[in-house]
Amino acid sequence: MPDFAVFEPLARGVRDAAVGVRTARADDAAAVAAVAATRGGPGLDVHRRLPGWVDDAERRVLVAEVGGAVVGWAMAGAWGRPGAQDGPHVTALTVHPEHRRRGVGDQLLAALTGWAWGRSDRMWSVVNARNEASVALHERRGFVLEGWIADYAGMTFDGGRGVLLRAARPADVVEEGP
Ligand SMILES: CC(C)(COP(=O)(O)OP(=O)(O)OC[C@H]1O[C@@H](n2cnc3c(N)ncnc32)[C@H](O)[C@@H]1OP(=O)(O)O)[C@@H](O)C(=O)NCCC(=O)NCCS
């Protein structure tokens, strides 16, 4: 079962000014795998697959660092399965539990949307309906509910229900191309 953050809508996070976001490298594989493992569930075999993902020009893989240590990661790219929406999807977004609610997830998501607007006027994210913390984070970055879903291109949800979220490229963003 995945470990979602506890939904605390009445709390307010404090931004960590020491957080930096950069493109992931193949040699981040172990550190990214450690952060990914905090999410629980079956996992994506991150350690083995990350070097291929960072070499994929159609994908954006990011890490967030504090003092040289990887504390979060996120990835975007096409979903790549029949039945999915066209355009980039947020496909991984995880912040180490000890660094949550300090703006790390928001910085990662902002960087992914910035990348997406260079290639698409839509960006998608598929979230377990019980993951209210993630939905709140996405809403703050302009994602809106496209629909409730029982599966997405063959993927089902722990608890049985997910949400498809959609963001639109803001009008004041100039398309730069890939
Ligand atoms: C969801 C997740 C990525 C959020 O990362 P984060 O770095 O803690 O989020 P941020 O500090 O950037 O939060 C930005 C905003 O999102 C919302 N938010 C984030 N976590 C929240 C929580 N637990 N409860 C309520 N709102 C939350 C708030 O509006 C927050 O702003 P605020 O702190 O000023 O109120 C993190 O909790 C996580 O890794 N969870 C486990 C993995 C996961 O569920 N990933 C998403 C899969 S789609």
Residue 153 Rama label (left phi>0; alpha psi -120 to 50; beta): left
In the chain the first and final C-alpha atoms are separated, in Å, by 37
**Tens-digit pLDDT profile for the chain (178 aa)?**
678 999 999 999 999 999 999 999 999 999 999 999 998 877 789 999 999 999 999 999 999 999 999 999 999 999 999 999 999 999 999 999 999 999 999 999 999 999 999 999 999 999 999 999 999 999 999 999 999 999 999 999 999 999 999 999 999 886 555 4
131 Cα to the center of ligand 1, angstroms = 10
**DSSP structure class, residue 61:** E
Q: Is the CB of 76 under 6 A from ligand 1?
A: no
Domain 19-168 architecture: 3-Layer(aba) Sandwich (3.40)
Using most ligand atoms within 8 A of CB, pick from 65, 93, 101, 108 the residue to mutate for ligand 1: 101
170 Cα to the center of ligand 1, angstroms = 22
Q: What is the pLDDT of residue 13?
A: 95
Residue 85, SS3 per DSSP: coil
Q: Is the CB of 129 under 6 A from ligand 1?
A: no
Q: Delimit the domains of the chain by residue range.
A: 19-168
